[in-house]
Amino acid sequence: MQAVPASLPAIITWMNNSEIGTGIRESTYLFPIIETTHVLALSISVGVLIWFDMRLMGWAMRHQPISHVHKQMTPFALIGFLVMFTTGFLLFWSEAERCYVSGFFRAKVAFLLFAGLNAAIFELRTRKTIHEWDKHPIPPVQARIAGLISLISWTAVIAAGRATAYKLF
C-alpha cells in the first residue's frame, strides 16, 4: 500500500475521513455502483467525442455536414460528461488521500484540464466558422488540430485514470 504523507491538506484528510467518504469506500454496493456509472458515463461522453473528433479530422462521416454532427452529438457528450464528473468527484471523495498522492491521478486531472481547455477554445473560437466547413469533407487545420488534441487528451485521461487503481507512482 502506498504511504500517505503526514502533511496532507486538511480538506483532503477531511474528505477521506468524512461520513460520505467512508460510507462510499466501505459500502458493499455504493462504490461499485458509482464506479460503474462513472465508466458508463465516460463511455457515452468520450465515445461521442471520439466520433466527433474523427469527423473533425476528416476520418469519418465525411458525407455528413459537420455542424449537423456537432448539434446531434453535443447533448450526449455534455450529459455524459456531467454524470462522469459527478461520479468521479464522489470516487475521489471516497479515496481522497490515495488519489491526492497518486502521480497517475494528478496526470489524469492535468489531461482532463487540457481536454477542457481544448474544448473551450474550440467552442469559443474555432467553431465560429463551422457552417463554412459543411461543404468540405475535411475541415480547416485548426479544427483538425482540435480533434487530434481531444483524442490524445481523452486517451491520456482514460489511461491515467485506469492506472490510478494501481499504486505504481
Residue 164, burial from CB neighbour count under 10 angstroms (0-12, 13-18, 19+):
buried
Instruction: With cut-offs at 50, 70 and 90, classify the pLDDT of residue 5.
Output: low
Q: Is 131 within 8 Å of 67 (Cβ atoms)?
A: yes
Rounded to 5 degrees, φ, ψ at 5 are: -60, 150
CA 131 to chain centre: 27
Q: Hey, what's the cell of 134?
A: 459543411
Q: For the chain, give every domain's residue range.
A: 11-164
Percent of the chain with pLDDT over 70: 95
Percent of the chain with pLDDT over 90: 82
Instruction: With cut-offs at 50, 70 and 90, classify the pLDDT of residue 1.
Output: very low
